[in-house]
Structure 1
Amino acid sequence: MKKLLLAFVLTSSLCFAQNTLHYNDEKGSEKATLNDISWLVGNWKGEAFGGTFQENWSNPLGNSMMFDFKLVVDGKVVFYEIGHIIEKDKTLLYQIKHFDANLKGWEEKDQSEDFRFIKKESNRMYFDNFTFEKVSDNEVNLYAYFEDSKKEVIFNFKK
């Protein structure tokens, strides 16, 4: 019985659904435009890290879709993000900058965190370590893989 239980646990742990991908230089990026992810436009909110977050995505304009993000825990801002998805070299690039509650940047002044586009599916857009998934017109999931912890986290957004 113990062997059967151990086999089940090992098999189950190996068969979990991984929703994020890692960019591969040899494969590169599929072609994509902002129209492929324009379903992300709008004002979204959800819960994460013991608080509430808001994220706002602009309409595509000037080869860019800009966003801002705010996490609030116990009535206080924990951090902000600002960034965009841009069209570059016939594909997409997702770039982020982080700020503390006093708008002091986490990254160096001329630095951003950049995540290259990998591929698209009917309701998913895969970037390096991030996947945007359209659940419905009023619901989106963002899967994020954190290198430090080696864990994938899901953020559920609703309009």
Structure 2
Amino acid sequence: MKFIITALVLLLAYPSPSAKAEGQTLTFTDGMTSPPATLEEAAWLAGLWRGEAFGGQVEENWSPPLGDSMAGAFKLVSDGKVDFYELEVIREVGNTLILQLKHFHGDLRGWEEKDETVDFPLVKVTETALYFDGFTIERVSSDAMNMYVRIKDGDVERDVLFAYRRVK
């Protein structure tokens, strides 16, 4: 519930994303199974990325594949202060991938309950993108990527663009 409230606040506080963001995510529907995939298909994501979203600066730092996962850390900074963090993992489960994350306020109080995660099963893989349920990671070039996240506001859903550049 805290995630929904915070998402609503962010949606109301910041202008709509560009039209390019609309329709960039896919949905995992009943009866679907995730396609075969390995962490090697996400390995390009490893590294430090920065960009802008929600009227602030965003940063993601992803580890290379190790064991059965990749770990990532996200933060949104507005007016010089952290709005929120996310801890993220892309895990290899069976013969496919799942993206899981947990949100934290700027003071590290969690949004989700202790044993809960927000899970995004894999819907589709292409040479340039990983499509999770409502969450797309698109490789634009070796130094640029876009993430599109579907956010719900009541009955309205829209895709929000996070445009990143690799930090070298």
TM-score interval, normalised by the smaller of the two chains:
0.7 to 0.9
Deviations 1:61-119 (A, max 9, x none): 01100000011100011000001000001100100000001100000000010000011
Within the candidate set 147, 151, 154, 2:158 is matched to 151
* 1:45 and 2:50 correspond: yes
Whole-Å separation in 2 of the counterparts to 1:145 and 1:76 = 24
Query: In the TM superposition, what is the alpha-carbon distance from 1:17 to its structure 2 partner?
Result: 5.7
Aligned partner of 1:23 in structure 2 is 28
Inter-partner Cα distance in structure 1 for 2:28 and 2:162: 21
TM-score normalised to the size of structure 1? 0.87
CA contact (8 A) 2:22 2:158 kept: no
In the alignment, the residues of structure 2 paired with residue 38 and residue 137 of structure 1 have an alpha-carbon distance, to the nearest angstrom, of: 12
> In 2, distance between residues paired with 1:99 and 1:17?
26
- Aligned-pair identity (%): 47
Question: 90, 95, 102: which is aligned to 2:100?
Answer: 95
Say which of 110, 115, 123 aligns to 2:120: 115
Report the 3-state secondary structure (helix = DSSP H, G, I; strand = E; otherwise coil) of the residue aligned with 1:52: strand
Structure 2 contact 143–165 (Cα < 8 Å) conserved: yes
State the TM-score, normalized to the length of structure 2: 0.83
AA at the equivalent of 1:113: V
**What is the one-letter code of the residue matched to 2:160?**
V
Equivalent pairs, count: 144
- After superposition, the CA RMSD in angstroms is 1.2
Distance 1:101 1:83 in 2: 16
- Give a deviation string over 1:115-150, Cα, whole Å, max 9, x none: 000111110110000111100000000011113341
Which gives a bigger RCO, structure 1 or 2 (Cα 8 Å, sep 6+)? 2
Partner in structure 1 of residue 77 of structure 2: 72
Could you tell me which runs of 5 or more consecutive residues in structure 2 were left unpaired when the two chains were aligned.
1-20
Match of 2:39 among 8, 29, 34: 34
Larger Rg: 1
Match of 1:125 in 2: 130
Structure 1 residue runs of 4+, over 4 Å off? none
